[in-house]
Structure 1
Amino acid sequence: MNHLTETRRRQAPSTTLLALAATAALLAAVPAQADTGKLLLTGGVSTVEGAAGGGISPWAVIGSQATEGEKGVSAYLSRVETRDHGLTAAGVAVGFNDRLELSFGHQDFDTGITGTLLGLPGLHLKQDILGAKLRVAGDAVLDSDSLMPQIAVGVQAKRLRSSGLDGTLDALGAQRDGVDLYVSATKLFLAQGVLVNGTLRATQANQNGLLGFGARLGGADNGYQLMPELSVAYLLSKNVAVGFEYRAMPNKLQRAGAAAGLGDGLRADDWKDIFIAWAPSKNVSLTAAYVDLGRIVPATTGNKKQTGVYLSAQIAF
């Protein structure tokens, strides 16, 4: 029975990847629109939380192809597969006047072996994220010949849906609702084809919120922490970019896990990725990346780092 469960678990992500590949092919076939809107890839792609930016970190750019005086919309589908887990993310973002962005993202996390060892085979953790981002200064393209970055402030309200893990999270003193606040600064050196983004996030989230928010067991820290994030991208051509991302993650569950007798079994690590993004047209972008999400519940995964692949398709108007 355990072997059958594991086989089904492996097959499900493969099916998702095939669906993502098919979606990407359809998006790539969408005809290019009139030559308006933003320069290719300067509006970023969609993060796994729904905001415009890189794959794992928001940038100060506003999503969609809309520029000043316009409204626009983007939609995305992403899949992450690591050694023991899988994450599917999808959502939409709406941009207003290249000034305000409203977004919605949904995440479905396959706990894999962790759920099985907890007596919850097939356990999925699902999270909804409502986001808003406001550009408060600068313009990444118009200020590309100066040192002035584009600056934006953002908020993400997250809710982890009820699951079989509720009792465990309650015992650790973790909540199922949380709010992230962040400020991002994006600097585009257009002549050199280089984009640099720095984000500072105030958060209580454990593994981006998929393991709840904060912890109280054993006197664990339940307050907000400031976490830095960094993205660097280089344009190989007008429609292809490569880059690197780093996102520091809070480690709020480690002390609570130790109080529960798990030692470092709930330790969390920072997230990293190396990506390549391709825009076959102004309205479509496809992203692939190698990801390193560090240890996720190492008590059930043999202390292994969760490395793997990330694929994402976005359409924007």
Structure 2
Amino acid sequence: MRHLHTTLPRLALLGCALFAGASASAQSKPDMGKFLATGGVSQLEGAGGGGITPWALITGYGTRDSWGANAHYTYVGTQDYTLGSYGVAVGIADRLELSLARQDFQGSLAPLDQLRIKQDIVGLKLRVAGDAVYEQDRLLPQIAIGVLYKRNKGIGGLGALGVSSVKQLGAKDDHGYDYYVAATKILFEQSLLLNATLRATRANQMGLLGFGGDQGDSQRLMPELSAAYLLDRKLVLGAEYRRKPHNLGVDHEKAYYDVFLAWFPSKNFSATVAYAELGDITVFNPKKQHGVYLSLQAGF
């Protein structure tokens, strides 16, 4: 807990400083002025974007003179595992995003049917250039930089094997940072959104299996790609790809990818369903994990 006590205050101070600058011109009440669906949905780690990768878009529907907030719950179920993610996020002046998320990972098939892993994630994102909505006459995409601080809460359900920490699986740390830069371009005439994200990470399975390991312990640059097509004003069809590092000998980690359909009946609610391919998770259940992804988001 020592690292958590020193790191989170620094993140909080940075967030407060950015918040003060971004909120100086923001209204006290959200104006919901952004176009429908332009805040994206809630990514598995809490940031605004797609399902598995953050975008440069700022969450919520507050314009540059306002703010917005949302809460989400996401469920992913494969043959052997389930993952629940829930949290809140705030977008301020269409410039700054702050997010908090909890991930709850569980095994459902022997020998890991009692497995339980929890992880807390604090996120900051700052738009630094471009405007994906209003600069349609420019090639420059909207660009944002972000950081995700992750703290693994340990392993439950494997007491009989004497395993209670990700370090016992070969991870070097139970906490770490992901740094990323994202570029998002919305082409209204083509009803198309394109996103590319470059992430520096040493996380194993997003951090659920710790950070670093016997196969590598350095920050590595991993590309992430998204494309989405607006079928009509409220329905979006898309696909995503996320490259992953391979740091652990007990985890033959592979890339994530999904195909999703997102529904935006109003600015206060969205629902996303997807087919997700998550690759191998551990050598103890050595087969590719794939299944359903469901996410609900409510906001103002």
Task: Tell me the residue number matched to 2:111.
Answer: 117
Task: Tell me the residue number matched to 1:235.
Answer: 230
What is the CA distance between 1:167 and its match in structure 2? 4.6
Tell me the distance in 2 between the aligned counterparts of 1:307 and 1:51: 23
Question: Are the structure 2 counterparts of residues 210 and 74 from structure 1 closer, same or farther at C-alpha, using a change threshold of 3 Å?
Answer: same
Task: Tell me the residue number matched to 1:103.
Answer: 99
Deviations 1:142-185 (A, max 9, x none): 11232110000000000000224435623514311010000000
Q: In the alignment, is residue 159 of structure 1 matched against residue 142 of structure 2?
A: no
Match of 1:276 among 258, 261, 278: 261
Please provide the CA RMSD for this pair: 1.5
Question: Are the structure 2 counterparts of residues 171 and 91 from structure 1 closer, same or farther at C-alpha, using a change threshold of 3 Å?
Answer: closer
Q: In the alignment, is residue 72 of structure 1 matched against residue 68 of structure 2?
A: yes
Tell me the distance in 1 between the aligned counterparts of 2:98 and 2:121: 11
Task: Tell me the residue number matched to 2:288.
Answer: 305
Tell me the distance in 2 between the aligned counterparts of 1:131 and 1:110: 23
Using the size of structure 2 for normalisation, the TM-score is 0.85
What is the CA distance between 1:35 and its match in structure 2? 8.5
Unaligned runs of 5+ in 1: 1-33, 258-265
Q: Residue type matched to 1:140 in 2?
A: A
Higher share in strand: 2
Higher share in helix: 1
- What is the percent sequence identity of the aligned residues? 50
Task: Tell me the residue number matched to 1:62.
Answer: 58
Conserved? CA contact 2:146–2:181, under 8 Å: yes
Question: Are the structure 2 counterparts of residues 143 and 201 from structure 1 closer, same or farther at C-alpha, using a change threshold of 3 Å?
Answer: same
Correspondence list, 1:1-317, <5 A: 36-113=32-109, 116-117=110-111, 121-164=113-156, 165-167=163-165, 169-170=167-168, 172-215=170-213, 217=214, 220-254=215-249, 257=250, 266-297=251-282, 299-301=283-285, 303-317=286-300
Unaligned runs of 5+ in 2: 1-29, 157-162
Task: Tell me the residue number matched to 2:21.
Answer: none
Tell me the distance in 1 between the aligned counterparts of 2:155 and 2:284: 18
After TM superposition, what 4+ stretches of structure 1 lie above 4 angstroms from structure 2? none
Tell me the distance in 2 between the aligned counterparts of 1:125 and 1:167: 9
Conserved? CA contact 1:127–1:159, under 8 Å: yes
Q: Residue type matched to 2:76 in 1?
A: V
Conserved? CA contact 1:145–1:189, under 8 Å: no
Q: Residue type matched to 1:66 in 2?
A: G
Task: Tell me the residue number matched to 2:159.
Answer: none
Using the size of structure 1 for normalisation, the TM-score is 0.81
Tell me the distance in 2 between the aligned counterparts of 1:173 and 1:272: 24
Q: Residue type matched to 1:312 in 2?
A: S
Tell me the distance in 2 between the aligned counterparts of 1:124 and 1:104: 20
What is the CA distance between 1:47 and its match in structure 2? 0.3
Deviations 1:34-58 (A, max 9, x none): 9842111111100010000000000
Q: Secondary structure at the match of 1:144?
A: coil
Q: Residue type matched to 1:84 in 2?
A: D
Tell me the distance in 2 between the aligned counterparts of 1:85 and 1:47: 19
Question: Are the structure 2 counterparts of residues 81 and 288 from structure 1 closer, same or farther at C-alpha, using a change threshold of 3 Å?
Answer: same
Question: Are the structure 2 counterparts of residues 176 and 35 from structure 1 closer, same or farther at C-alpha, using a change threshold of 3 Å?
Answer: closer
Tell me the distance in 2 between the aligned counterparts of 1:73 and 1:104: 12
Q: Residue type matched to 2:35 in 1?
A: L
Tell me the distance in 1 between the aligned counterparts of 2:102 and 2:268: 22
What is the CA distance between 1:112 and its match in structure 2? 2.6
Q: Secondary structure at the match of 1:191?
A: helix
Q: Secondary structure at the match of 1:69?
A: coil
Tell me the distance in 1 between the aligned counterparts of 2:171 and 2:75: 30
Deviations 1:183-205 (A, max 9, x none): 00000001111000000000000
